[in-house]
Structure 1
Amino acid sequence: MDLGINWIEIWVLVKEWYWIPLTLIYISVIFTILIENKNPTKTIAWILVIILIPLLGILLYYFFGQDFKKDLYFKKIDKKTSAEFIRNWKKINHLIEKDFEKIETLIGSQVKVFKYLNHTLSSPPFIHNHVRLLRNGEEKFPEFLAAIQQAKHHIHLEYYIFEPDHIGLKIIDTLIKKSNEGVEVRITTDDFGSPKLNKRYRELFKNSKVQYQTFLPVRFNSLANSNFRNHRKILIVDGEIAFVGGINISDKYINNNQNALYWRDTSLMIKGDAVNLLQLRFWMDWKMADGDDFNVFGYDYVKIHDEVKKGAVVGFAFTSPGASVPSAMESMILAITLAKRKIRITTPYFIPSDEFKSALLIAANSGVEVELLMPKVGDSLIVQEASLSFTKRLMEDGVKVYLYEKGFVHAKTITIDDDLAFIGTVNLDNRSFFINFELTAVVHDKILISNMIKDFDEDRFNSMLMTIEKWKNVSMFRRAFASICRLLAPIL
């Protein structure tokens, strides 16, 4: 009996009937998207991708579009790691209520933003802090390195991008030196954002006393979760001083005439009680990265800063894939709706949710001056064109849109009147609002906000005003391309 395989006949069969299993796969995937009950615009975006990019669209959806793994995995982790955090929070809730009265005398109705963050268990307000605005890498890294060099007990570092370039190697050498002096050093970096921290540097950490963990390693068996990245940038030293903001560890953030592109970014240095909250968040992320546990609630890590009698009010909005509330987006929306005079927004990517866009339109149409500053040339063509398409309706309703021309603006900041500021890692897009691990500091400090306004004015001077008339003069081809990019916005 001839059991040989006739490959020609099989090929003819496949060539003639391949569309049947392929159609069934397409129907199955589209049906899965529909029953997941996504946001309607996001549902349409994914269906378009699957239809317009055959086969590749299905693979993209499998790796980057599914929510079920997020629900099963991240919510379980969030619940586990936050239980002790919430128990300790409740112990101090009676003190928090008294602080609200003090905050309200300073900023009036904007106190509701801090009440919102407290009620959603994102962050209580801290009223005993010193804050300092750090413009670009050339201001941040000297302070950053000085803090590490002065560490006596511990250094906790959590970063999306950590490049082993000139500044990166200098930081690595300092961290190893401090660990050899007996300082506890814990580092976690995002595996997708910091791929260049390869085996060589990890061996350096291993041979010293530095504890290093990769956050959400990208492996073949975990590719479906690779869409969820830790975009936070945090440094905590001795529970006394912390750094947050948009500046990663990389030479490109330092404008020293050695980089072809001027990089405009913002960071925040904090001293005071608010550092404790960052400490607890680092501990939660460290446990998620499978780092060895440590007693974060001991005095060496969480401290009372009696020396800061009064100063900046600081809270935080955190986002994560497992969070039940998008606190960063909603706290920003709340602040925007409470604005009385002027809103200034700087962002590298502007792909807002419908709720965020509506808040800006309502503010503009109620007489509040709204200014939005973003790059003239972005680092992603599709994202840049989608961002521009979202500004059309805003410009029609009186929002002033500025396109930064001096270089690439990467800062993620908002100021509301002279009362409230947001500084952090949160881009104004779906990824930052719902998918990534992010944070933004929410701050009331007159000097800080005054400095932020000065920076905004300078950045505006280095920008062109985009008007609705200019947009209408853009070529029809480009406007059509921007509209297509906008359809993909919910999944960018």
Structure 2
Amino acid sequence: MESLKTFFHFALDWYWLPLVLLYAGVISTILIENRNPSKTVAWILVIIFFPIIGLLLYYFFGQKFGRVKKIKKINKEQTKRLTQQWEQMDGMMESFIADINTEIGDLSKVFRLLKNQRLSLPALQNNVKLLINGEQKFAQMLSDMEQAQFAIHMEYYIFELDTIGLQVLNLLERKAAEGVVVRLIVDSFGSPDMVKYMQKTTHSRIQFNAFLPVNFTSLANSNYRNHRKICVIDNHIGFIGGINISDKYCNDPKVKNRIYWRDTALRIEGLAVSMLQVNFWNSWNQTDGEPFLLEEGYLRQIKNNSCIRGNAAVGFVSSDPASIGPFNMEALLIAIGEAKHSVQLCTPYYIPSEELERALIIAASAGVKVELIIPAQSDSYFVQHASFSFLKPLLERGVHVYLYTKGFLHAKTACIDHKLTFIGTVNLDIRSFYINYEIAAIVSDAALCAQAEQQFELDKMSADWLTLELWKQRPRWKRGVDSLCRLLAPLL
């Protein structure tokens, strides 16, 4: 009994020692990881000011060594498998880039980035169609899937089992029963109900896989989200953009939505779709799905297909947690840096990297008309306030900022100099640039650019212009909350 009392007294006197050692070990680990300095400081602040909770958050959501190391290994293996194909197409890609340069000048450097980093073939002769909101995208996609003869490949962050979700799922099951190969990837964190449903279903002919399955022992996977929205039909029709499979993207009077949901997607037909297929293949190979071979016609189609479907040059920029660089951000930085007249940006979340913020300020200061539309009301309290903390430097240097008031603006688009359009899944935030699996289409097509710019102007009509004077009139307490939320910006 006496020895037990002695132990308790010792524990009470020295309980702080193992905690100090634990904190020192965790903080040392964060420093050794050589992350972005702002992210390092943010995690250290969370751990210090929220002692136990901070450690738990870091354990489940902050560690990156094991997962990122595995993703890097997969990326390296897949790059090796495609090396010969890339080398064979090198001359053709140079010819394509030369043609693009004739049309858009130095903005063609964006396509050279795609080639040099082996992200995508910058393909010519594509037909592209701008799709506004879920109403347009779902009608078009369902129609195209009805005509599928060989394969339907889908990769989505959110796939809800609601009206449109069940309509899509039933169509996929029917096409699979007809002999069409249907492969479906959904993100485990974004589509938990779909994952549970498919795991319980025993009769499905769909080849289904959950991306980075999330359970208690792998909660850290929820930090690495597959945010992509891809559909490839028979390897010649593709869809990309910000629209998930969910009723909330449809502004149908029959569907009860809380707010108007404004989003953008792109339909592509032509040579570029084969590269969208490659991106799906990369994702599929990171799941437990049975492998399929790109060599069975997918890349061969690029070299042999001479059918001219349109005038658009299209490439894809993709990135993931293990990418050697934040390629989506780099492509956008190149475009902004080469802009001579205008930059128009739409994003639901604006938590920029220092590089992006500086690029926008430099462009505006040099006389480029830089415009940014973000939601007046976000779906995240912390992101809303953090975003507002980044607006003042833009306003001070002449960037035009608009707050969309009609509903929630979820579109992720950029229009540069009436010549180049970005449409994809990439938010203008640190998470999209460095953590999530993301993808965007980069399109050089005069007609599409004109349509995208026209839509931008329509969106401005449903937005309030935020001037520096109006920003300064915001209550001090709100600006204080902005500043506090900004400290967490690298973790949001």
Tell me the TM-score normalised to structure 2 length.
0.96
Matched, 1:375 2:372: no
Alpha-carbon distance, 1:354 to partner: 0.5
Matched, 1:176 2:173: yes
Mapped contact 2:85–2:299 kept (Cα < 8 A): no
Q: Secondary structure at the match of 2:285?
A: helix
Taking the TM superposition and a 5 Å limit, the aligned residue runs for 1:372-411 are: 372-411=372-411
Q: Secondary structure at the match of 1:189?
A: strand
Q: Give 1:290's aligned residue.
A: 288
Matched, 1:97 2:88: no
Mapped contact 1:320–1:437 kept (Cα < 8 A): yes
Mapped contact 2:269–2:309 kept (Cα < 8 A): no
Q: Give 1:50's aligned residue.
A: 47
The one-letter code of the counterpart of 2:238 is: A
| 2:218 alignment partner, one of 210, 222, 227 | 222
Cα distance between partner residues in 2 of 1:227 and 1:363: 33
Mapped contact 1:180–1:208 kept (Cα < 8 A): no
Mapped contact 1:69–1:225 kept (Cα < 8 A): no
Alpha-carbon distance, 1:178 to partner: 0.5
Alpha-carbon distance, 1:301 to partner: 7.8
Cα distance between partner residues in 1 of 2:298 and 2:385: 49
Cα distance between partner residues in 1 of 2:225 and 2:11: 40
Cα distance between partner residues in 1 of 2:132 and 2:139: 12
Tell me the TM-score normalised to structure 1 length.
0.96
Alpha-carbon distance, 1:81 to partner: 2.2
**For residues 265 and 27 of structure 1, do their structure 2 counterparts lie closer, same or farther at Cα, with a shift above 3 Å needed?**
same
Question: Which shifted more, 264-273 or 20-29?
Answer: 20-29
Mapped contact 2:213–2:221 kept (Cα < 8 A): no
Cα distance between partner residues in 2 of 1:227 and 1:5: 46
Figure out how many residues of one structure are paired with residues of the other and give that number: 488
Q: Which runs of 4+ in 1 moved over 6 A?
A: none
Q: Give 1:256's aligned residue.
A: 252
Question: Which shifted more, 296-305 or 170-179?
Answer: 296-305
Identity of aligned residues (%): 48
Mapped contact 1:160–1:232 kept (Cα < 8 A): yes
The one-letter code of the counterpart of 2:463 is: S
Question: Which shifted more, 388-397 or 285-294?
Answer: 285-294
Which ranges of structure 2 fall in alignment gaps of 5 or more residues? none
Q: Give 2:227's aligned residue.
A: 231
Q: Give 2:104's aligned residue.
A: 107
Taking the TM superposition and a 5 Å limit, the aligned residue runs for 1:455-470 are: 455-470=455-470
The one-letter code of the counterpart of 1:321 is: P
Alpha-carbon distance, 1:203 to partner: 3.9
Alpha-carbon distance, 1:293 to partner: 1.3
Q: Secondary structure at the match of 1:344?
A: strand
Matched, 1:31 2:25: no
Q: Give 1:210's aligned residue.
A: 206
Q: Secondary structure at the match of 1:155?
A: strand
Q: Give 1:18's aligned residue.
A: 15
Cα distance between partner residues in 1 of 2:94 and 2:115: 10
**For residues 301 and 106 of structure 1, do their structure 2 counterparts lie closer, same or farther at Cα, with a shift above 3 Å needed?**
closer
Alpha-carbon distance, 1:220 to partner: 2.8
- CA offsets 1:244-292 (integer angstroms, 9 cap, x no match): 0000000000001321210000000000000000111111211111211
- CA offsets 1:197-221 (integer angstroms, 9 cap, x no match): 14434444x4132111111101233
Q: Give 2:278's aligned residue.
A: 280
Cα distance between partner residues in 1 of 2:177 and 2:268: 26
Matched, 1:192 2:219: no
Mapped contact 1:245–1:267 kept (Cα < 8 A): yes
Alpha-carbon distance, 1:306 to partner: 2.7
Taking the TM superposition and a 5 Å limit, the aligned residue runs for 1:248-397 are: 248-257=244-253, 258-299=256-297, 303-304=301-302, 305-308=305-308, 310-397=310-397
Alpha-carbon distance, 1:30 to partner: 1.5
Cα distance between partner residues in 2 of 1:14 and 1:189: 48
- CA offsets 1:322-364 (integer angstroms, 9 cap, x no match): 1102111001001000000010000000011001111101101
Cα distance between partner residues in 2 of 1:198 and 1:123: 30
**For residues 433 and 300 of structure 1, do their structure 2 counterparts lie closer, same or farther at Cα, with a shift above 3 Å needed?**
closer
Question: Which shifted more, 30-39 or 470-479?
Answer: 30-39
Q: Secondary structure at the match of 2:51?
A: coil
Cα distance between partner residues in 1 of 2:383 and 2:307: 46
The one-letter code of the counterpart of 1:465 is: W
Alpha-carbon distance, 1:481 to partner: 1.1
Mapped contact 1:276–1:301 kept (Cα < 8 A): yes
| 2:240 alignment partner, one of 232, 240, 244 | 244
Q: Secondary structure at the match of 1:221?
A: helix
Mapped contact 2:127–2:309 kept (Cα < 8 A): no
Mapped contact 1:239–1:302 kept (Cα < 8 A): no
Cα distance between partner residues in 2 of 1:200 and 1:66: 30
Question: Which shifted more, 433-442 or 55-64?
Answer: 55-64
Which ranges of structure 1 fall in alignment gaps of 5 or more residues? none
Alpha-carbon distance, 1:468 to partner: 1.2
The alignment yields a C-alpha RMSD, in angstroms, of 1.7
Matched, 1:61 2:58: yes
**For residues 419 and 300 of structure 1, do their structure 2 counterparts lie closer, same or farther at Cα, with a shift above 3 Å needed?**
closer
Mapped contact 1:376–1:403 kept (Cα < 8 A): yes
Mapped contact 1:155–1:238 kept (Cα < 8 A): yes
The one-letter code of the counterpart of 2:85 is: N
The one-letter code of the counterpart of 1:261 is: I
Question: Which shifted more, 16-25 or 242-251?
Answer: 16-25
Q: Give 1:447's aligned residue.
A: 447
The one-letter code of the counterpart of 1:462 is: S
Q: Secondary structure at the match of 2:428?
A: coil
Cα distance between partner residues in 2 of 1:294 and 1:334: 35
